[in-house]
């Protein structure tokens, strides 16, 4: 069947197909550059320039004797390899990875070195073989870079991975067919017909890849604005809204595994005194320092947010002992980092309360228990970690009731945190601390 396809493709005008491929690639390059001007995403500029270089390479290869007779014979191939290397680099830039200039130009360097050997320079089959290997190599690297992006779900990633993988696989066909380009009498063989197939595939690939890169750019922009709406501008942590949304996702995953979740409530000690003694600039810097410490100390998949003022909260899947160990790491790391700042003895510390419970429990109840443990840490001298031994229970409920209860509880707890006056915890007869949920305000300093 593949041989019939190759023979049928001979009837197509190869020159016309390549002209179409050159025009489509160049127009898409200009389109991606226009998208870069609008979005200011660096990867779009690299991808657009790569398409323009690739289009220029095709024009030289097809019309070199007319438009640039003085250029070296291998310049078209060198430009092509630089273009595919730039596409790989654009995929890296999409995900914040650096430009590897040597690796990007490796394909062109290998081609130049190979051309120095007469046996290679005089063999058309060798040219086809090496060119196909270089293009396939960079295309597979592009697919790997897209696969390494873990922020997108697999459903959204698979087209971005499948298209370059298919393109790279197709470019392995000339490896098997290179020796069939001409028979002993110089008559055109099956491989010649495949040139038309490759021209059609190149057009489909550049169009598909352009749409994929634009979808990636759109996702990046949407994610940027979504994160801006859910991020505290001073510390870079999640704000109240972002924390409750992320915490709901963590609890949902823990429900499916029937695993406990833990909540850590943080409060910087004597923060008002720091503001009064050193000014609000140092106070803001102290908040930023704590955010840096807690990000570096806790795991990447732990949810950390700033609820307001000097109050922070974190949620992580796991048992009480693991959460207590994480809280102690944060406390000790911040005590060391906050001892001195900008040549001044700040002596900033943090108190932490830790609670653990069922993922079916209302989120505001978990935070309230951690809040109660935090009050206990404040009462016992600050700069310490206190835990609530009694786990917060919760039974599975229907989906609609669960979502309504969580949303209502989140609103109630968020409104309770608006006030900043001290409210001491109450002591129950069994010596378990709890927060007075009807107090209408949260702790301070």
- What rounded mean pLDDT belongs to the chain? 78
Residues 90 and 222 in one domain: yes
For residue 296, the model assigns a pLDDT of 93
Q: What is the pLDDT of residue 56?
A: 92
Asked whether residue 52 is domain-assigned, the answer is yes
**Residue 30 shares a structural domain with residue 133:** yes
What are the pLDDT digits (tens) for 207-237? 888 888 888 788 777 777 777 888 999 999 9
The reply to whether 61 and 189 lie within a common domain is yes
Domain count, the chain: 2
Cβ contact 236:291 at 8 Å: yes
User: For residue 184, what pLDDT is reported?
Assistant: 44
Averaged pLDDT for residues 293-310: 92
Instruction: Look up the CATH number of the domain holding residue 180.
Output: 1.20.1070
Indicate whether 285 and 238 sit together in one domain. Answer: yes
Q: pLDDT tens across 54-78, in order?
A: 999 988 888 877 776 677 778 889 9
Whether residue 51 is contained in a domain is answered as yes
Q: What is the pLDDT of residue 399?
A: 44
Query: Among the listed ranges 89-98, 213-222, 376-385, which one has the minimum average pLDDT value?
Result: 213-222
Considering the domain architecture, whether residues 237 and 102 belong to the same structural domain is answered as: no
Residue 216 domain flag: yes
Better-predicted residue by pLDDT, 17 or 70: 17
Q: Is the pLDDT of residue 436 over 70?
A: no
**348-353 average pLDDT score:** 96
SS3 annotation, 398-435: CHHHHHHHHHHHHHHHHHHCCCCCCCCCEECCCCCEEC
Question: H-helix or E-strand containing 159?
Answer: helix 154-170
Whether 222 and 261 map to the same domain: the answer is: no
Rounded Cα gap, residues 392 and 370, in angstroms: 10
Q: State the pLDDT at residue 187.
A: 41
Backbone phi and psi for residue 440, each to the nearest 5 degrees, phi listed first = 80, 10
Last residue in a domain, options 208, 228, 248: 228
pLDDT in tens, 138-191: 988 888 887 776 444 443 556 656 666 666 666 555 544 444 444 444 444 444
Residue 157: the pLDDT is 54
Per-residue pLDDT at 400 exceeds 70: no
The pLDDT, as a whole number, for residue 419 is: 39
Could you tell me the strand order of the sheet in which 311-317 lies?
303-308, 311-317, 261-268, 350-357, 385-387
In a domain, 245, yes or no: yes
Q: Which two tokens stand for residue 398?
A: 């229907």
- The average pLDDT across 382-392 equals 88
The reported pLDDT for the residue numbered 423 is: 39
- Note whether residue 97 is domain-resident: yes
List Cβ neighbours of 235 (8 Å cut-off, separation of 6 or more): 287, 288, 290, 291, 306
Q: Give the pLDDT of residue 11.
A: 54
Is 413's pLDDT higher than 50? Answer: no
Distance of alpha carbon 172 from alpha carbon 166, whole angstroms: 10
Give the whole-angstrom CA distance, residue 43 versus residue 47: 6
Tokens of 86: 């730039």
Q: Which of 63, 61, 54 is nearest to 25 (CA)?
A: 54
Residues 203 and 237 reside in one and the same domain: no
Rounded CA separation 107/90 (Å): 16
What six digits make up the tokens of 265? 């409530």
Sorting pLDDT into bands at 50, 70 and 90, what band is 438?
Answer: very low
Q: Is the pLDDT of residue 136 over 80?
A: yes
- Is there a domain that residue 441 lies in? no
Return the C-alpha torsion angle 79, 85, 89, 90, nearest 10.
60
DSSP character string of 242-270: HHHHHHHHHHHHHHHHT--EEEEEEEETT
Q: In the Cβ-directed half-sphere of 207, how many Cα atoms lie within 13 Å?
A: 11
- 60 in a structural domain: yes
* Structure-model confidence comparison of residues 332 and 431, the more confident one: 332
Residue 392 has pLDDT above 80, yes or no: no
Average pLDDT over every residue of 24-50:
91
32 and 133 belong to one structural domain = yes
| 98 three-class SS | coil
Closest C-alpha to 360, from 274, 273, 255, 271: 255
CB 293 within 8 A of CB 352: no
Query: What are the C-alpha distances in Å from 443 to residues 60, 311, 436?
Result: 72, 9, 11
pLDDT score, position 38: 86
> Among 326, 288, 312, 151, which residue's Cα sits nearest to residue 239?
312
Residue 137 sits in the same domain as residue 267 = no
User: Last residue of some domain: 228, 261, 281?
Assistant: 228
pLDDT at position 441 over 70: no
CA distance 60 to 73: 9
- CA atoms of 139 and 161, how far apart (whole Å): 10
The pLDDT, as a whole number, for residue 394 is 61
Range of the domain at 372: 233-434
The answer to whether residues 202 and 244 belong to one domain is no
- Burial environment of residue 279 by CB neighbours within 10 A (0 to 12, 13 to 18, 19 or more): exposed
From 162, 194, 228, the end of a domain falls on: 228
* CATH classification at residue 416: 3.30.70.270
Q: How confident is the model at residue 123 (pLDDT cuts 50, 70, 90)?
A: confident
Beta strand ranges found along 153-209 (DSSP E): none
Cα–Cα distance, 411 to 81 (Å, whole number): 56
Residues 196 and 317 in one domain: no
- Clarify whether residues 199 and 99 are in a common domain: yes
What is the DSSP pairing of strand 340-341 with strand 303-308?
A: unpaired
Burial (CB count <10 Å: 0-12, 13-18, 19+), residue 391: middle
Which tokens go with 83?
A: 């273009």
Is residue 28 one of the residues assigned to a domain?
Answer: yes
Which of 171-185, 243-257, 415-429 is the least confident region? 415-429
The mean per-residue pLDDT over the stretch 355-376 comes to: 94
Residue 273: its pLDDT value, please?
A: 92
Per-residue pLDDT at 398 exceeds 50: no
């Amino acid at each position: 069947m593949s041989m019939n396809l190759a023979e049928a493709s001979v009837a197509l005008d190869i020159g016309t197909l390549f002209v179409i491929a050159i025009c489509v690639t160049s127009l898409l390059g200009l389109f991606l550059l226009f998208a870069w001007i609008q979005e200011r995403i660096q990867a779009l500029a690299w991808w657009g320039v790569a398409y323009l270089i690739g289009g220029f390479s095709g024009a030289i290869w097809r019309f070199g004797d007319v438009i640039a007779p003085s250029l070296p014979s291998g310049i078209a191939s060198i430009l092509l390899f630089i273009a595919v290397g730039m596409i790989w680099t654009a995929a890296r830039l999409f995900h914040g990875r650096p430009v590897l200039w040597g690796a990007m130009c490796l394909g062109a360097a290998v081609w130049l070195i190979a051309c120095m050997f007469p046996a290679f320079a005089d063999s058309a089959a060798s040219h086809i073989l090496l060119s196909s290997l270089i293009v396939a190599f960079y295309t597979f690297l592009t697919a790997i870079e897209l696969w390494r992006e873990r922020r997108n779900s697999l459903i959204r990633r698979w087209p971005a991975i499948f298209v370059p993988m298919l393109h790279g696989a197709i470019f392995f066909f000339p490896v098997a067919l290179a020796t069939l380009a001409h028979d002993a009498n110089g008559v055109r063989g099956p491989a010649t017909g495949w040139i038309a197939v490759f021209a059609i595939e190149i057009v489909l690939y550049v169009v598909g890849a352009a749409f994929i890169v634009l979808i990636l750019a759109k996702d990046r922009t949407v994610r940027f604005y979504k994160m801006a709406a859910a991020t505290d501008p001073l510390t870079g942590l999640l704000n109240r809204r972002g924390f409750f949304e992320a915490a709901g996702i963590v609890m949902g995953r823990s429900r499916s595994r029937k695993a406990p979740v833990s909540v850590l409530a943080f409060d910087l000690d004597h923060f008002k005194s720091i503001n009064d003694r050193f000014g609000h600039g140092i106070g803001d810097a102290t908040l930023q320092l704590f955010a840096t410490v807690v990000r570096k100390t806790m795991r990447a998949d732990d949810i950390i947010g700033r609820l307001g003022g000097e109050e922070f909260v974190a949620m992580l899947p796991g048992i009480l002992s693991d959460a207590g160990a994480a809280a102690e790491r944060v406390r000790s790391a911040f005590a060391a980092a906050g001892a001195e700042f900008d040549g001044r003895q700040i002596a900033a510390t943090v108190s932490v309360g830790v609670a653990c419970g069922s993922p079916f429990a209302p989120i505001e109840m978990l935070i309230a228990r951690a809040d109660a443990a935090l009050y206990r840490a404040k009462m016992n001298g600050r700069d310490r970690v206190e835990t609530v031994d009694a786990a917060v229970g919760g039974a599975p409920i229907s989906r609609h009731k669960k979502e309504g209860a969580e949303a209502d509880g989140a609103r109630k707890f968020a409104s309770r945190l608006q006030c900043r006056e001290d409210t001491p915890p109450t002591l129950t007869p069994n010596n378990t601390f709890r927060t007075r949920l009807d107090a209408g305000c949260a702790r301070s300093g």
